Amino acid sequence: MEKKEQQFVREITNMEDDFAQWYTDIITKADLVDYSPVKGFMVIKPYGYALWESIQNFADRRFKETGHKNCYFPLLIPESLLMKEAEHVEGFAPEVAWVTHAGREKLQERLVIRPTSETIICEMYKKWLNSYRDLPYLYNQWCSVVRWEKTTRPFLRTSEFLWQEGHTLHETYEEAEVETLQMLDIYAEVAEDLMAIPVVKGKKSVRERFAGAEDTYTIEALMHDGKALQCGTSHFLAQHFTKAFNIEFQNRNGGKSHPYHTSWGISTRLIGGLIMVHSDNRGLVLPPKMAPTQVRIIPIQQHKEGVLDKVYEIKELLEKEFRVDIDAAKEKSPGFKFNEAEMLGIPVRLELGPRDIENGKVVLVRRDTLEKEEVSFDKLYERIAELMVQIQKDMFDRAKASRIERTSTAYNMEEFKKALDTKPGFIRAMHCEDEDCEAEIKAETAATIRCFPFEDTEVISDKCVCCGKPAKKLAYFAKAY
Amino acid sequence: MEKKEQQFVREITNMEDDFAQWYTDIITKADLVDYSPVKGFMVIKPYGYALWESIQNFADRRFKETGHKNCYFPLLIPESLLMKEAEHVEGFAPEVAWVTHAGREKLQERLVIRPTSETIICEMYKKWLNSYRDLPYLYNQWCSVVRWEKTTRPFLRTSEFLWQEGHTLHETYEEAEVETLQMLDIYAEVAEDLMAIPVVKGKKSVRERFAGAEDTYTIEALMHDGKALQCGTSHFLAQHFTKAFNIEFQNRNGGKSHPYHTSWGISTRLIGGLIMVHSDNRGLVLPPKMAPTQVRIIPIQQHKEGVLDKVYEIKELLEKEFRVDIDAAKEKSPGFKFNEAEMLGIPVRLELGPRDIENGKVVLVRRDTLEKEEVSFDKLYERIAELMVQIQKDMFDRAKASRIERTSTAYNMEEFKKALDTKPGFIRAMHCEDEDCEAEIKAETAATIRCFPFEDTEVISDKCVCCGKPAKKLAYFAKAY
């Protein structure tokens, strides 16, 4: 029996041995995702989709609270539209899927499956917009997009993924900039408040910004293996697209102006980040706010009188406030159920057998720390409420402490490379903002500028870490997914 | 000024003059939808999308209450998979969009954009299913699908539409049949309880059923013009797909069995039904449960002291329970605002000016009946609550009375044609269930069997209305969208 009970844990590769395999084991054994018959396309299974719904609910509420409305634009974009903004087409054309036929007929113009919707949305905005009175346009859509990828990994990089894309128009440069940063703040809330993932907010380098953007802002998180993950981006598009698409409005002086434009998106990629920030060698670890099941009750010796009655009584008590389920399957042993609850990352497991009932107590086990405690029936509700808050906070604090611990500072490339080798993570270093210099760093070390952070603007030197030319800004570098 | 105030109403074609144009006017003037640059693909604008969100929220809650979970399957399906179920491929192949290239490379196998997902989902279910213990599978996805159409009309028939598709597997025939009918009941709830659209539940004829189904069940509603609209379908697929895809599970006797299978869907088409059942020559009419704004407050002489203060006070009072907004735009006259609120179908408009404040009263105008009443401040909250319930009920009752009034009975084709001409609507008639006979009726009259209704099973004759051969079942015929 011991052997079978350990099967989940045994089946997971240790992350220290093979991080990529550990990740694959977690996502498949925790039943989040499966590979589809089309290479690079994933199936998101119910447990994985529930995590996406949690992200959607949180983000959608915040979008609406800040005045945004949802809408829906077509899946297919004519080739001629995609071609209108020069940088944009260069960025996306190599990775789009082409629809060439419908039924038995060849199409007159080829269509692409949207890789992102700036072009089709701008075409519509051009048609709709008349006056400054109509502005701002604050619209968002939830949909899937397709970007053909050669090497893929579920959630992190797939040829189709689910996301939301916000597309806004504003009367002034300043308003659009405020919007861009507001949405970045909301993304940081999604990551930090909901998912317990600490992020570094900042601006992308010219080399890493969105194809067609004036500026791209990002939230970056550090994974268990010391690589960074870009978790969400907000683009200040200025008038790049609105000029290319000739979107105009009557301004307050009676003349014509091009509006200022933003776009911003988060995707199912966040779920990959959730796994790589919190999970361990026993399986998923979910923050209570996101967990589809927050408390799982596992009866011990459930055939004995009174056990199942008590278990249902406790469920009824707890489910007023928490997401609770019971694992009363007869064909599985308690040990197997413990492992399964751990594999699924359920924040608290509640064990209850005949002796516990006699003593008026239950056993609680935290998933994040595996700490056990006994709690009397009369304190149970209150204790669960405390644990939900505590686990959420502790997960965030641990991830943040780990990020800080793995953030190094480098004044030259020798230090830079040594830090990457000995303590993979973020490297704080000055950079000259030259694209070629950044490319050289990547070629030498595989690390890129993740961002110029907002909250860490220390000028640690006046020279670029790589080329030695004058440098004004501190950058965070890392290898990245 | 009078002229400008009437512009919305003037811009709407009378439905009695040209029903198709009336429909087009409503959807564009009420800002529900727009035509995209890709023929047959629509943009769903925020006001239209809010209606879809209302349908989604209601249906998703009911799906989850009945044990279903959401998931996500890929957008693209390999040609070889689509071809596996013979009737299915025959039904869908002529209308699918083909992806042939990705980036600059030609694909080895062509892919179709999902027209529906039975095939890709069955391929995954085959991989996942082991034992009867795993059953039932109760999964659903919200997504868009593409079916290339020659002639399109927004919401009713477009080359891309939004929908949900449920796909379930069951151990037994009976369980799958119960599921099929349960989901039909939930669809009827969506139509009747949320949208105030009365529907006829029944079974489709062989000719009209889903490509690959054993039985298709439907909810059918009658539009203002006497045409029927299929509002949702639930398919009992038996083992057609599970055999074609060789899905098997270990049964209770230790042998292998193919599971029984259902699928069911509702789409943005329902919004087309909402319009054609309730709206009038002044614009949309929305049932309170669905309306994005339930009460719009329009201040009169808003520049006078105290008017706007009172308006905001009332909004604060009402928005605890209702969805309320204020139209205080200075550049529009009250008359223009009244028309606009009517165009948008807002269930109750609240007018408030200086004289009303003196008298301690407001004016309420119901959108559905255009009835006006005065209500004192202290009774306002209660009265709005009553009106929300009353309007919802009255809209349903009127639509149902209208359907009954436009339902005729025919014993022969002469009566059948006369009824279609003089009082377009449902025609109750006996049918032999022969496919050729049904095709002949369609060729002669353009009417089809909408369903064999569950709740009206009267045997009014023993002969088919068309061919005179023996007939056992009463059918509802109509011309349909």
Q: What is the DSSP string of B233-282?
A: EEEEEETHHHHHTT--EE-TTSSEEPPEEEEEEEETHHHHHHHHHH-BTT
Classified as helix, coil or strand, B308 is: helix
Backbone phi and psi for residue A65, each to the nearest 5 degrees, phi listed first: -60, -25
Across all residues in chain B, what is the average pLDDT? 95
> Which residue from A52, A72, A160 is facing B75, i.e. has the nearest CB?
A160
Task: Name the stretches of chain A with pLDDT < 50.
Answer: 1-2
pLDDT of residue B8: 60
Separation of alpha carbons B68 and B123, rounded Å: 20
Amino acid A85: pLDDT: 83
Tokens representing A422 are 């000995």
**Residue A371, SS3?**
coil
Does residue B285 form part of some domain?
no
Residue A340: helix, strand or coil by DSSP? helix
Helix (H, G, I), strand (E, B) or coil at B78: strand
B96 reaches A (C-beta below 8 A): yes
**Contact between residue B342 and residue B298 where contact means Cβ atoms under 8 Å apart:** no
The pair of structure tokens assigned to A44 is 């998101």
- How far apart (Å, rounded) are the C-alpha atoms in residues B364 and B284? 18
DSSP states of B143-155 as a string?
EEEE---SS-BTT
Helix or strand run (H / E) with residue B290: none
Nearest-5° angle of CA B168, CA B174, CA B180?
A: 45
Nearest to B103 among A74, A99, A148 (CB): A148
On whether both A93 and A184 belong to a single domain, the answer is yes
Which domain range does residue B207 map to?
2-278
Scanning every residue of chain B, which has its alpha carbon at the shortest distance from the alpha carbon of A78?
B38
Q: Which residues in A lie closer than 8 A to residue B34 (C-beta atoms)? A: 124, 127-128
B328: contact with A, CB 8 A cutoff: no
**Left (φ > 0), alpha (ψ -120 to 50) or beta: where does A3 sit?**
alpha
Number of neighbouring beta carbons within 10 Å of residue B252: 10
- Nearest chain B alpha carbon to A32: B71
Which tens digit of pLDDT belongs to each residue from B154-196? Answer: 999 999 999 999 999 999 999 999 999 999 999 999 999 999 9
Distances (CA, A) of B478 to A144, B425, B427, B448, B475: 37, 6, 6, 6, 10
Tens of pLDDT along B356-369? Answer: 999 999 999 999 99
Contact A100, B101 (CB under 8 A): yes
d(CA A186, CA A140): 14
Find the angle CA(B32)-CA(B269)-CA(A36) to the nearest 5 degrees.
110
Residues B446 and B395 in one domain: no
- Measured between beta carbons, the chain A residues lying within 8 angstroms of B45 are 71
The residue-averaged pLDDT of B250-277 equals 98
> Given the DSSP bridges, would you call strands A295-299 and A324-326 parallel, antiparallel or unpaired?
parallel
Best A31, A32, A38 residue to mutate vs chain B (most B CBs within 10 Å): A38
Are B234 and B250 within 8 A, CB to CB? no
Separation between Cα atoms, residue A113 and residue A312, nearest integer Å: 49
Query: What is the pLDDT at residue A1?
Result: 38
Interface of A with B in 155-174 (CB under 8 A): 159-160, 162
How do B76-78 and A473-478 pair as beta strands?
Answer: unpaired
CA-derived radius of gyration, chain A: 25
Nearest to A241 by CA among A28, A399, A82, A4: A82
Predicted-complex ipTM score: 0.95
Within a domain: A140: yes
B215 & B330 share domain:
no
User: Does B55 share its domain with B27?
Assistant: yes
For residue A6, the model assigns a pLDDT of 55
Cβ contacts of residue B61 below 8 Å, gap of 6+?
A: none
Residue B66 has what pLDDT? 98
Identify the band that residue B87 occupies on the pLDDT scale cut at 50, 70 and 90: confident
Tell how far CA B146 is from the center of its chain: 18
Sign of the Cα torsion B1, B6, B10, B11 reads positive
Assess contact for B43 and A74: CB atoms under 8 A: yes
Enter the DSSP assignment of B192.
I
Do A191 and A152 belong to one domain?
Answer: yes
Q: Which residues between 59 and 88 in chain A have a beta carbon less than 8 angstroms from any beta carbon of chain B?
A: 69-78, 81
Element (H, E) at B226: none
Which residues in chain B touch residue A144, judged by CB atoms under 8 angstroms apart? 72, 75, 143
pLDDT at A10: 73
- The total of structural domains in chain A comes to 3
- Cα Dmax for chain A: 83
Report CA-CA distances (Å) from B333 to B1, B85, B264, B296. Answer: 8, 61, 47, 15
DSSP codes, A202-250: EE--GGGS-TT-SEEEEEEEE-TTS-EEEEEEEEEEETHHHHHTT--EE
Domain end (from B213, B245, B278): B278
Q: Retrieve residue A274's tokens.
A: 């959730």
For residue A284, is it within any domain? no
Are residues B442 and B358 part of one domain?
no
Q: Which residues of A225-257 are buried (b: 16+ CB within 10 A; e: fewer)?
A: bbbbbbbbbbbbbbbbbbebbebbbebeeeeeb
CATH assignment of the domain containing A474: 3.30.110.30
Query: Which residues of chain B have a CB within 8 Å of the CB of A97?
Result: 76, 99, 101-102, 111
Is residue B258 within 8 Å of residue B247, measured between CB atoms? yes
Cα of B45 to nearest chain A Cα, Å? 5
Place of tokens 């919401």: B155
Report the candidate in A473, A420, A409, A411 with the shortest Cα–Cα distance to residue A448: A420
Confidence band for B39, pLDDT divided at 50, 70 and 90: very high
User: CA B93, CA B77: separation in Å to the nearest integer?
Assistant: 12
- Asked if the Cβ–Cβ distance from B124 to A34 is below 8 Å, we say yes
| Sign of the Cα pseudo-torsion (A95, A101, A106, A107, in order) | negative
The answer to the question of residue A289 being in a domain is no
Query: Measured between alpha carbons, how far is B217 from A152 in angstroms, rounded to an integer?
Result: 41
Q: CB-based contact (8 Å) between A102 and chain B?
A: yes
What CATH code is carried by the domain that includes residue B143? 3.30.930.10
Is A100's CB within 8 Å of B98's CB?
yes
Which tokens sit at A365? 């086990």
3-class SS shares of chain A: helix, strand, coil, % to 5: 40, 30, 35
* Residue A213 sits in the same domain as residue A71: yes
What confidence score (pLDDT) does residue A2 get? 46
In a domain, A379, yes or no: yes
Please report, for residues A7, A45, A374, B170, the alpha-carbon distance to residue A31 in angstroms, rounded to integers and kept in the order given: 15, 7, 30, 20
Please tell me which residue of chain A has the smallest CA distance to B95: A103
Give the three-state DSSP class for B16: coil
Contact A224, A472 (CB under 8 A): no
Cis-peptide into A136, omega within 30 deg: yes
Cα–Cα distance measured from residue A403 to residue A219, given in angstroms and rounded to the nearest whole number:
14
B99 touching chain A per CB within 8 A: yes
CB contact under 8 A, B43 and A72: yes
Which positions 139-158 of B are in contact with A (Cβ < 8 Å)? 139, 143-144, 146, 148
B360 lies in the same domain as B457: no
Residue B287 lies in a domain: no
Residue B284 belongs to a domain: no
Q: Compute the residue count for chain A.
A: 481
Of B338, B373, B402, which residue constitutes the final position of a domain? B402
pLDDT digits over B306-355, tens only?
999 999 999 999 999 999 999 999 989 999 999 999 999 999 999 999 99
* Angle, CA of B159, B161 and B166, to the nearest 5°: 130
Among the candidates B345, B377, B402, a domain finishes at B402
Place of tokens 């010219």: A206
Cis ω for the linkage preceding B136 (within 30 of 0): yes
In 3D space, the residue among B338, B402, B322 whose CA is nearest the CA of residue B370 turns out to be: B338
Q: How far apart are CA B188 and CA B194, in angstroms?
A: 9
Whether B198 and B213 share a structural domain: yes
CATH number at residue A309: 3.40.50.800
Distance CA A310, CA B325 (A): 49
Q: B384 φ, ψ to 5°? A: -60, -40
Shared domain check, A167 and A59:
yes
Rounded Cα gap, residues B40 and B157, in angstroms: 8
Beta strands in B31-91 (DSSP E): 33-35, 42-44, 69-70, 76-78
B102 has a chain A CB within 8 A of its CB: yes
For residue B283, being part of any structural domain is answered with: no
Residues B104 and B33 in one domain: yes
How many CB contacts within 8 angstroms connect chain A with chain B?
153
**Measured between CB atoms, which of A49, A128, A148 is closest to B102?**
A148
CB B99 within 8 A of CB A113: yes
Judgement on whether residues B452 and B375 belong to the same structural domain of the protein: no
Distance CA B381, CA B176 (A): 46
Please tell me the predicted confidence (pLDDT) of residue A87.
Answer: 83
User: Rounded to a whole number, what is the distance in Å from the CA of B423 to chain A's nearest CA?
Assistant: 38
CA distance A34 to chain B (A): 9
* Residue A329: partners with Cβ closer than 8 Å, 6 or more residues away: A337
- For tokens 């992102």, the residue is A116
